[in-house]
């Protein structure tokens, strides 16, 4: 159970027996303890966490050395978007190692919990021989099954490991870079330029028409029957809400107004941040961009339920913000997801 939902006295999926999405009134807390003004999606699977990132310790070399030598320090090894998890009855927990058993690879501080236990991440490699019940799980699969603490730690570890795996050289001069700030930054030893983890913002939006029908589309790359809300990367020099209007227009010919922010969730696969929105259409005639979108249609709630129940449509998995956005419009739990 998420502590914030408990503290706020709100609905919690674990207590209500199914995933419950709600549009909170202003002032409700989220699993991170942060408050969004306006309606918000809370407890998104990958936007949880219970360990303070303790960024003030990242420059404290003496503390970092001491923490790495402490016997109770826990290390998450992340590689290629996966980490070791123990799975038991639809619940998963991260498998930590002590610093002495961690691979000698790029290391980064994840944070410190309320008991003063330090958590680090290491960018692979994962061991090849695994005990029974332990698997290297992709974040997409593990995220919804993990506790608030472990979901936060794995999301941060995977995001940083992905960056370290990819951004090894200076973009200015091509020299190999070295880490600093406890693995949260890299510096070029030749020209002293500093580089920080790259995050690509992407917007994702549920568009409604005046009858409150939802616009769902199938990407040209997806198999038959899979549909979702529209999404796309924010371009250089563009605001997130401008990206919403542009992508909707480009992909479906629909124009929107009244863009409402719903919440965000990191999606480090490999390095996105999904910014969720609702938008109201002012022009509802659909003209799809055939390069990107195979088909797009307006669905009433009854249409959608019938299409899912008949197997004609499948929706994104609950770990995704897309699923939560669609569910928040629909007003109840939705079956029939693809993974
Ligand atoms: Zn350089």
Q: How far is the CA of 172 from the centre of ligand 1 (A)?
A: 5
> Which residues lie at CB < 5 A from ion ligand 1?
170, 172-173, 175, 188, 190-191
Q: Does pLDDT of 166 surpass 50? A: yes
Rounded Cα distance, 33 and 35, in Å: 7
pLDDT digits (tens, 9 = 90+) for 75-128: 999 999 999 999 987 899 999 999 999 999 999 999 999 999 999 999 999 988
Q: Are 80 and 105 in contact (CB under 8 A)?
A: no
CB 107 within 8 A of CB 124: no
pLDDT at 37: 55
Give the model confidence (pLDDT) of 199-250 as tens digits: 999 999 999 999 999 999 999 999 999 999 999 999 999 999 999 999 999 9
**CA angle at 160 for the pair 159 and 166, rounded to the nearest 5°:** 95
Does residue 334 have a pLDDT over 90? no
272 CA to centre of ligand 1 in angstroms = 25
**121 CA → ligand 1 middle, Å:** 25
Measure 188 CA to ligand 1 centroid, in angstroms. 5
Do the Cβ atoms of 184 and 67 come closer than 8 Å? Answer: no
Using the mean position of ligand 1's atoms as its centre, give its distance from the Cα of residue 179 in Å.
13
Distance 169 CA to ligand 1 centre (A): 8
Which distant-in-sequence residues (6+ apart) come within 8 Å of 114 by Cβ?
52
- Given a contact cutoff of 8 angstroms between Cβ atoms, the answer to whether 19 and 318 are in contact is yes
Q: Could you tell me how far CA 142 lies from the centroid of its own chain?
A: 12
Distance 195 CA to ligand 1 centre (A): 10
Question: Please, are residues 252 and 232 in contact by the beta-carbon 8 Å criterion?
Answer: no
Residue 336: pLDDT band with limits 50, 70, 90: low
Tokens of 245: 């209007």
Overall residue count recorded for the chain in this entry: 339
* Sequence-ordered list of residues with C-beta below 8 angstroms from that of 110, at least 6 positions apart, any chain: 51, 53, 76, 119, 120, 121, 153, 156, 157
Q: What is the pLDDT of residue 43?
A: 87
CA of 177 to the centre of ligand 1 (A): 7
Find the 123 Cα to ligand 1 centroid distance in Å.
Answer: 22
Nearest to 142 by CA among 193, 188, 187, 91: 91
Lowest mean pLDDT among 7-16, 26-35, 65-74, 214-223: 7-16
* Distance from residue 168's CA to the centre of ligand 1 (Å): 11
**Mean pLDDT for the chain?**
89
pLDDT band at 18 (very low <50, low <70, confident <90, very high): very low
SS3 146: coil
Which of helix, strand or coil describes residue 195?
strand
Alpha carbons 146 and 51: distance in angstroms, whole number: 14
Grouping H, G, I as helix, E, B as strand and the rest as coil, residue 6 is helix
| Average pLDDT, integer, range 311-331 | 93
Q: Is this model's pTM higher than 0.75 or not?
A: yes
**Cβ 148 vs Cβ 49: under 8 Å:** yes
The pLDDT, as a whole number, for residue 337 is 61
Distance from Cα 180 to the centre of ligand 1, integer Å = 15
Q: How do strand 91-94 and strand 74-79 relate by DSSP bridges? A: unpaired
- Distance from the alpha carbon of residue 161 to the mean position of ligand 1, in angstroms: 21
Contact 110, 58 (CB under 8 A): no
Mean pLDDT, range 239-267, rounded to an integer: 94
Question: What pLDDT is recorded for position 10?
Answer: 34
């Amino acid at each position: 159970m998420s502590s914030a939902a408990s503290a706020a006295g709100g609905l919690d999926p674990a207590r209500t027996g199914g995933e419950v999405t709600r549009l909170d009134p202003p002032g409700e807390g989220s699993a991170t303890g942060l408050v969004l003004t306006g309606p918000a999606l809370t407890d998104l699977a990958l936007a949880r966490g219970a360990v303070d990132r303790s960024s003030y310790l990242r420059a404290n070399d003496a503390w970092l050395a001491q923490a790495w030598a402490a016997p109770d320090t826990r290390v998450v090894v992340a590689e290629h978007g996966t980490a070791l998890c123990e799975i038991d009855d639809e619940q998963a927990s991260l498998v930590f190692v002590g610093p002495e058993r961690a691979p000698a690879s790029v290391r980064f501080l994840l944070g410190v919990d309320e008991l003063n236990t330090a958590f680090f991440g290491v960018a692979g490699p994962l061991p090849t021989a695994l005990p029974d019940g332990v698997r290297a799980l992709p974040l997409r699969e593990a995220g919804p099954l993990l506790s608030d603490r472990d979901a936060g730690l794995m999301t941060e570890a995977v995001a940083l490991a992905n960056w370290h795996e990819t951004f090894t050289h200076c973009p200015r001069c091509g020299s190999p870079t070295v880490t600093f700030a406890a693995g949260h930054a890299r510096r070029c030893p030749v020209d002293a330029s500093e580089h920080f983890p790259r995050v690509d913002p992407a917007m994702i939006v549920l568009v409604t028409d005046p009858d409150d029908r939802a616009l769902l589309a199938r990407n040209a790359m997806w198999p038959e029957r899979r549909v979702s809300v529209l999404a796309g990367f924010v371009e250089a020099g563009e605001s997130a809400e401008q990206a919403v209007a542009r992508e909707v227009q480009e992909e479906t010919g629909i124009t929107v107004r009244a863009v409402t922010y719903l919440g965000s969730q990191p999606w480090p696969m490999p390095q996105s941040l999904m910014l969720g929105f609702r938008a109201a259409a002012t022009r509802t005639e659909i003209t799809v961009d055939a390069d990107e979108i195979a088909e797009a249609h307006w669905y009433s709630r009854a249409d959608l339920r019938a299409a899912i129940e008949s197997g004609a449509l499948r929706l994104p998995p609950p770990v995704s913000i897309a699923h939560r956005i669609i569910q928040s419009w629909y007003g109840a739990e939705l079956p029939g997801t693809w993974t």
